[in-house]
Every structure is written in structure tokens, then in C-alpha cells.
Amino acid sequence: MRHLVLYVPDGSSLSVELGTKECDKRKTTANLRELISDFVDDWGIDRSKVRAVVTDGGANIKAAVKAEFGDSKHLSCFAHRLNLIGQRIIGNEGNVPSQQTAPPPDLPEDEDDITDDGEEEEHAAAGSVRELIGKVKKIVRFFKHSELASSKLRALQKAEMGKTDATVVNLINEVKTRWNSCYTMCDRYAFRL
């Protein structure tokens, strides 16, 4: 719980950030409810006056809000729902590779195995947005897992684009729960640095 939106009698609204607390425990329903309860108590908010609590679609946070305020007080965030629609349209309903903990199996075992000889790769039928995004993600993952490749990319930016250490940028990986991260990943990949 970060923001409190107050609706005043004249129909306007005011968004106030209550604060941010580190959650050093697992994000279980009980632990999240405890954090929410702490915010409510710290700010002296009367639970009976809370009209709605807006969260993402995570089962744990939804259950925590419902446990703290009642079933009728939870609303799913509209932006998150739109993001889910966009993810479904581009066929990205499963796990996002950026959220995987192990490097993908198609990466070289060692950075010394990186070659510039343009190894041939099997290509599926061209034309699919999902296929294009998949190819971009594969390249981004490669750079994220290879310090040698990342340092070569930074050096190229300095040499060919005149960038300094302060202005050099890295590729961005998609994060499924972040609004527009797929677009941002592709935009950065297209070297709109």
C-alpha cells in the first residue's frame, strides 16, 4: 500500500503517498495484511471509511486486502488489467524470460565462447509479432548474462555514438508486470539510446 486517494465532496480527488516499507519477509497474505494494517494504524485511518483498495491482480495482495477490509473493498487496477490484455494480444501469457532465475540453455557456457561469425539459427515463419519479440528478448538475455558482450556494447556506444560513461545505456529486459516494458525493451533494442 503506497498511495491513498481521497475523494472530497466537490468531486475532485487527491492522491497522497502514505510511504513505503520494505517487506523483508515472504509476500504471503498474512505478511502483506500485517503491512497494510501497520499503515492504517500508523496513519490513524478508520477502516470503516475505506471505500476501496486498488491493487494488482496478485492473489496474495487481493486476499490481504479482503482480509483487512472485507471482500467488497478490493478493486483490481485498471492499468494492470490493460497490461494483461496487451500481454495476451502479443501471446505473452506465460513466464517472462527476465523473471527466470537460471540463464537460458541456448546461451554460451562461457563468455569466451562468444563469436562474431553469425551462427545460423533455425528461423520460424516470419511475420509474427511474438516471434520478433522473442528474438529481441533472446538477444537482450544474452547481453544480460554476458559481461563481455555488455562491455563490448558499451564500448561501441562510446566509439560510434560519442557517448560518455554517464550516458551509456544497457539493453532493457521485459518485465511482465510493468506497464509498457515490452515496448521499452524493443525501443531500446532499436537503439533509441
pLDDT per residue over 139-181, tens digit each? 999 999 999 999 999 999 999 889 999 999 999 998 876 767 8
140 occurs within a structural domain: yes
Residue 81 lies in a domain: no
Instruction: Cell numbers for 188, please give them.
Output: 531500446
Residues 79 and 164: their CA atoms lie apart, in Å, by 36
State CA 73 to chain mean position distance: 26
How far is the C-alpha of 124 from the C-alpha of 144, rounded, in Å?
24
| Statement to judge: residues 72 and 105 lie in one domain | no
- In angstroms, the CA 38 to CA 32 distance is 10
**Is 92 contained in some domain?**
no
The reported pTM is 0.51
Same domain? 111 vs 61:
no
Domain count, the chain: 2
Structural domain contains residue 86: no
Ramachandran angles phi, psi of 179, nearest 5°: -60, 130
Note whether 61 and 142 are same-domain residues.
no
> Contact at 8 Å (CB) between 156 and 118?
no
- Check residue 125 and report its DSSP letter: P
Does the residue 108 lie in any domain?
Answer: yes
Structure confidence by residue, pLDDT tens digits, 54-67 = 888 888 999 999 99
Helix (H, G, I), strand (E, B) or coil at 117: coil
Residue 161 lies in a domain: yes
Average pLDDT (110-124) is: 42
Domain final position from 43, 76, 109: 76
- Cell 492473489 belongs to 59
Asked if residue 119 is part of any domain, the answer here is yes
Q: What burial class does residue 54 get, using C-beta atoms within 10 Å of its C-beta: 0-12 exposed, 13-18 middle, 19+ buried?
A: middle
Same domain, 63 and 29: yes
Domain that holds residue 120: 100-189
Asked whether residue 93 is domain-assigned, the answer is: no
